Amino acid sequence: MGPPPIVTGVSPKEGPPGTRVTVRGEFLGKSPTDLCGLTICGCDCLLSAEWKSSNKIIARSGPGKGRGEIVVTTRSGGKGTSTVEFRGYHEMIGPMKESAVWVEEAPLRKMWWGRRGLTPTTYQHDDPLGISIEGVEQKFPEDGLHKLFPGGSGDLSSENFAAGWFLLERHHATPFDDLRAGLAFLRRKVDGQKEGQLSFIKSNVGSVMEQLDTLAQLKERFEEDVEKQGQDPTIRLEGAIKESMSEANKLFEEVLSRRERADATRSALAVLQRFRFLFGLPGAIEKNIKKGDYDAVINDYARVMNLFGNTDVPVFKKVLAEVESRIVQLRDLLHRRLEEAPTSLEAQKKLIRNLVNLEVGGDPAWDAISCHSRHLTATMMQCKDSHIAQEQSALEDGGKTPKSSKNKSTSVPNQNTDWQACVPARVLLTEELADAISERFPDFWKLGQAYFTGELQVTVAPSRPQDFKKLVLAAISLFSGLLRAALMPHTLVRTPAAERASYGVWHSKGMEGLGPWLPHCLRALRQAYSSLIRLDLPSEALDIVASLIFDLRLHCMSTLLKQAGESVRQLHTQETWNIQFDGEHGGITHLPAECERVIAEALQLAKDSVLLSEHRETPLLESEVVQRDLNNLIQNMLLGFVEVLDKLALGSDAMAGDSPGVSQMIGSPAIYRVHGSDSVIDKGRGKDKESGPAWEVRLLSVLSNIEYTRSVLLPRIADLFARYQLPAQVGPLASVNKALTELDQRVLDAYLEQRSDPLVGTIEPSMYIGNFNWDAALKPADVRPYVKELLTNLISVHAEVHSISPGLVWRVLPQLVETVAEELARLMVCLDKKFNVHGTEQACADIAAIREAVKVYSTPTAEAFFDEALEAVPRLSDAQGKRNVESVLNNFRSRMKLQLMCFRDPKAPTVKNISNSV
Amino acid sequence: MKKPNQQPALHKVIMVGSGGVGKSALTLQFMYDEFVEDYEPTKADSYRKKVVLDGEEVQIDILDTAGQEDYAAIRDNYFRSGEGFLCVFSITEDDSFQATQEFREQILRVKNDENIPFLLVGNKSDLGEKRKVPLSEATGRAAQWGVPYVETSAKTRANVDKVFYDLMREIRSRKMEDNKPGNSRGKDKSKRKKLKCVIL
Ligand SMILES: Nc1nc2c(ncn2[C@@H]2O[C@H](COP(=O)(O)OP(=O)(O)OP(=O)(O)O)[C@@H](O)[C@H]2O)c(=O)[nH]1
Ligand SMILES: [Mg+2]
């Protein structure tokens, strides 16, 4: 059995019954006799069908109405189908209409009585309502009428005449008033006919009589005829018709045979055309394959298989085999191209469709998808291998390791020609992997989507969705794993060893210097992530990347904080001891500001890259573990600064520095000398950094810095944290505060020890200089020199402290005063009351002078010691003695006026107040 | 998920142009690889078959309309269903070229869409020696309308496939555009029209 007929064309596509219809298509029969059935709109038209070729049949449409199929049936192919439809409709038939079923009405000949004859009916010619419908072009759709009036008709002479149909058909555009007028007209006409029946006969009596006469005449003639011709008058007629028919046949025979020949030639030509197509096909296919016009090849192939698919002719078979072999080649070619490195998505889809159209076995679409996946994997793996090798060689080269700090700080140097060499291989890997994912993955995913939505017109095996998901997850996991191995190996510790190894083993040394690049890596990764998000991937896949990003952010943040901590710890090398004053806080060095800058920079960097969550990312600080880790890092960073201060004040380097003040203090105002030449400050700035200022000055500077750090820097840093929306770092700040307080105490102690020991130590030798004996004293005229030296030394300490931080004076001097008072008390007690009268007066005057001079800085403990000292001295016996003491004191006040002013309470308004209070 | 074996997409093409320019000849050549020498005026013919368009199986539906003036009144109805138009004239007959202007206007009026897929086709290119319509004039008009111009010969089959495939591609891309979410066809069309007005 050959292929079933298929009708693909009809001309015209609509018409009234009897329309000459040209039906075109394929396999419409091999010969006129092969055609055994033709229906148009369900009406059998075989009788009128004229078989022209296997592509063409001409027939007349039957009385079918509405749209319907054209079905051709052949003996060789069976019942066929059609892609087109024919619409039959019935036309209102008027004298002006050309119609296949038009009944010729011979016009009535002249009337015998010379009168105007009656026309058979007046239907169709005039409108029964007397309304002209000329010029009204629009017609009411006939289908609608059929629906509205099933079985009705608009034909006035029809049995099933439906008035509604008639009106809609002829007058659906006529205005209502006109219709009313028409009704009146019709009524008049009907009335006129009824009452006029009699008058009709009357007025036509002549005709009636004539008719009767004619009938009589007819009868006569008929009888005559019967007499002449016998009973059946039609026999002769029949003979005549037959004769004329055979005459006519003779006349047309020639024409008809010519036409038949023409038809035969035509179909032969068509056949030839087809053969030419067949024999030319192998060449055409090759040409088109070369041109890359696979569609044409496929179309041609489909056509040739239709036409010659089941031929028995050996020559055809041979050619077909040739065609087939080329098609096989094409299949292979297409398959190979599909497996090659994936090209554009559209090109791939086209290839797949071509393959499907070529009826290749298997599942080319799935092959393409898995090839895509393999390729993606291979790209990523290769990327990894090449970069590991690159880093390895860089490490071996040693010098070439990306250490150059210049390049580190400028995050992505682009103009620099050799920057490629400076960028760590892992960063390049990250960039390349991110690019690979954002470029290749979307095509892979879209191809999958096209596959499953049926866009590729292939059937999908039930296990495929699961397989595809696996491929997707595998690709994404690999991406994540490779990046983790390169950037954050510590996050892979729980991964099975084999899997871990597949992500690449990097040399641990390569992690150095990676820190500053992490934000850059994060940016690249985020770009890839956003391209994945746009694809609407299942969240299972997206989450893998999301967690990678989260870990990288965390890692980045800790690295930043660790770096900041390290920079802070390096700050001590930058101390210049250059004291700067601001109104409120006394003198500080630039170190606290440096510390603040380092921290602010780190936070700014963290904020720019890490802290803010982008689309579909987990907020970094939500997890408690993360917060605790970060807190530790922050605390560590801040404690770094405390360590720096500690090192600067009490470190071995610091103490090694010589302190000229200590050795030269005894007996000479050494500090004045040092201060006088401004050498403290000069040395601080000077080229000779190692020596720097005296240790005591350093201690004081550090003390001042500590104070500043506590009162100003820490609150500012807390503000910074708040500004960057890090949760208030209460824990770390408190412990840093504690560490500072503790350090403060130690530094202060060190300073006091450093200063008070020599100061106190000088009192005794100075007191007994020149073999002075309390028991053999002369009448006192002034306080003894040791008092003056003591006060001068105190003044120099005061000056030293004040020059760095006035606030510190209040912490240092009272302590010194206490030790001085204690020493005084000890010395007096040692004498065991061995004073002569003048000795007593002298001692009282000395003690009172000292006590009065340091009054402002005195403490209850100091007062107690002063009292103890006085107690150790025998009581002044008489008024003369008291006067002597008083005069000594007065003398002391006026001579030492300048020195005494140094101990004035800086907050007290005038000098007088002090002297008055004494 | 859609079924993979769905009915292929259907693209509805309408042949327009004066009588005798070769609309039917082009259609029959495209459909059946045959050339009809004798001229039989068309009333309205319908053809439909499957073809492979850029690797995708689609159906093309061709409505071959009447060029003769007698049938002009029924055109409106036919045009309405068309998704793309091949407006054919004969390069050997200037009247048929002038008439394309009217066809273009009627189509724009019925479709109410300036960007309807449309190709201007100069047929009978095999009769070069009898050319009456200069190539420049035809390309000029096409450029003015913003449509492609192609010369064909139904007799030699030159460019016959091209005009049908090119038109189908335009129809397809138009459909894809219209099918974009939030791009309902009706709304879009009126917008297009309005936009044009604003520019003018
Ligand atoms: N030489 C030549 N003759 C052609 C070509 N195309 C059509 N013809 C001839 O032109 C005449 C008219 O062709 P048709 O295709 O029937 O014209 P049409 O446009 O369909 O006309 P209507 O159906 O009346 O609108 C026929 O005799 C064809 O043989 C062509 O490309 N070259
Ligand atoms: Mg025609």
Amino acid at A628: R
Q: A353: which chain B residues are within 8 Å (Cβ-Cβ)?
A: 54-56
- Listed in sequence order, the residues at least 6 apart from A221 whose beta carbon sits closer than 8 Å to its beta carbon are none
Q: Show residues of chain A in contact with B52, CB under 8 Å.
A: 295, 298-299, 302, 357
For every residue of A678-743, DSSP letters joined together read THHHHHHHSS-TTT-S-HHHHHHHHHHHHHHIIIIIHHHHHHHHHHTTPPP-HHHHHHHHHHHHHH
Segment B61-88 shows an average pLDDT of 86
Residues A902 and A893: their CA atoms lie apart, in Å, by 13
A233 to chain B, any CB pair closer than 8 A? The answer is no
B33 lines ligand 1 (CB under 6 A): no
Which residues of chain A make contact with B5, given a CB cutoff of 8 A?
454, 457, 459
- Token pair for A434: 């991110």
Pairing of strands B84-90, B118-123: parallel
**What residues pack around ion ligand 2 (CB closer than 5 A)?**
B 23-24, 42
Q: Separation of B66 CA from ligand 2 center, angstroms?
A: 6
**How big is chain A, counted in residues?**
918
Inter-chain contact A295–B52, Cβ cutoff 8 Å?
A: yes
The answer to whether residues A587 and A580 touch, using CB atoms and an 8 Å cutoff, is yes
- What pLDDT, on a 0 to 100 scale, did the predictor assign at position A737? 85
| Exposed / middle / buried, residue A906 (Cβ in 10 Å: 0-12, 13-18, 19+) | exposed
Long-range CB contacts for residues A677-680, cutoff 8 Å, separation at least 24: A680/A803
What is the DSSP secondary structure assignment for residue A856, as one 8-state letter?
A: G
Collapse the DSSP code of A52 into the 3-class scheme (helix H, G, I; strand E, B; otherwise coil) and give the result. strand
DSSP 8-class letter at A82: E
Q: Is A67 helix (H, G, I), strand (E, B) or coil?
A: strand
Q: How far is CA A294 from CA A275, A281, A363, A462, A529, in A?
A: 22, 13, 19, 30, 37
Angle at A428 between CA A425 and CA A431, to 5 degrees: 155
Cross-chain residue pair B47–A8, CB shorter than 8 Å: yes
Ligand 1 binding pocket includes B32 (Cβ within 6 Å): no
Report which ligand 1 atom has the smallest distance to the Cα of B42. Answer: 23
Of B28, B47, B55, the CB nearest to A84: B47
Whether the CB of B92 sits within 6 Å of ligand 1 = no
Q: Atom of ligand 1 at shortest distance to CA of B88?
A: 19
Closest-CA residue to A486 (of A514, A508, A506): A506
Cα of A40 from ligand 2 centre, angstroms: 22
Q: Say if residues A851 and A866 touch (Cβ distance below 8 Å).
A: yes
pTM beyond 0.95: no
User: Which residues from chain B sit within 8 angstroms of residue A11, using beta carbons?
Assistant: 24, 42-43, 45-46, 64
Which residue owns the Cα nearest ligand 1 atom 16? Answer: B39
User: What integer pLDDT is reported at residue B2 of this predicted model?
Assistant: 44
Q: Are A918 and A845 in contact (CB under 8 A)?
A: no
- ipTM of the complex model: 0.85
pLDDT classification of B155: cutoffs 50, 70, 90: very high
CB-nearest partner of B55 from A15, A277, A353: A353
Ligand 1 contact via B25 beta carbon (within 6 Å): yes
C-alpha span between A469 and A420 (Å, rounded): 37
pLDDT band at residue B160, thresholds of 50, 70 and 90?
very high
Rounded average pLDDT over B77-85? 90
CB contact under 8 A, B32 and A302: no
- Ligand having the closest approach to the CA of B22: 1
The one-letter code for the residue type at B100 is T
Residues in chain A, pLDDT under 50 = 99-125, 399-420, 657-690, 908-918
Place of tokens 């419409």: A28
Cα A727 from chain centroid (whole Å): 28
Q: What is the pLDDT of residue A653?
A: 62
Contacts of A58 in chain B (CB under 8 A): none
* β-bridge mates for residue A43, sequence order: A40
Inter-chain residue contact B1 with A454, CB threshold 8 Å: yes
Residue A875: the pLDDT is 77
CA-based nearest residue to A380, from A500, A474, A514: A474
- Please identify among residues 42-81 of chain A the ones whose CB lies closer than 8 Å to any CB of chain B: 55
Token pair belonging to B180: 């974009």
Beta carbons of A655 and A695 less than 8 angstroms apart: yes
Among A145-154, A475-484, B54-63, B89-98, the least confident range: A145-154
Residue in B6, B31, B55 nearest the CB of A8: B31
| Tokens matching residue A445 | 């995913």
Q: What is the total residue count of chain B?
A: 200
Q: Is the Cβ atom of B91 under 6 angstroms away from ligand 1?
A: no
| Residue A698 or B148, more confident | B148
d(CA A142, CA A169) in angstroms, rounded, equals 8
pLDDT of residue A345: 76
Q: Does A280 touch chain B (CB under 8 A)?
A: no
pLDDT at A418: 45
B96 Cβ below 6 A of ligand 1: no
Half-sphere exposure of A92 (CA within 13 A, CB side): 19
pLDDT at A126 (0 to 100)? 62
The distance in angstroms from the start CA to the end CA of chain A is 141
For atom 22 of ligand 1, the residue with the nearest CA is: B19
Our CA dihedral for B114, B115, B117, B122, rounded to 10 degrees, sits at 60
Given B2, B31, B55, which is nearest A357 (Cβ)?
B55
Q: Report the candidate in B21, B164, B18 with the shortest Cα–Cα distance to residue B91.
A: B21
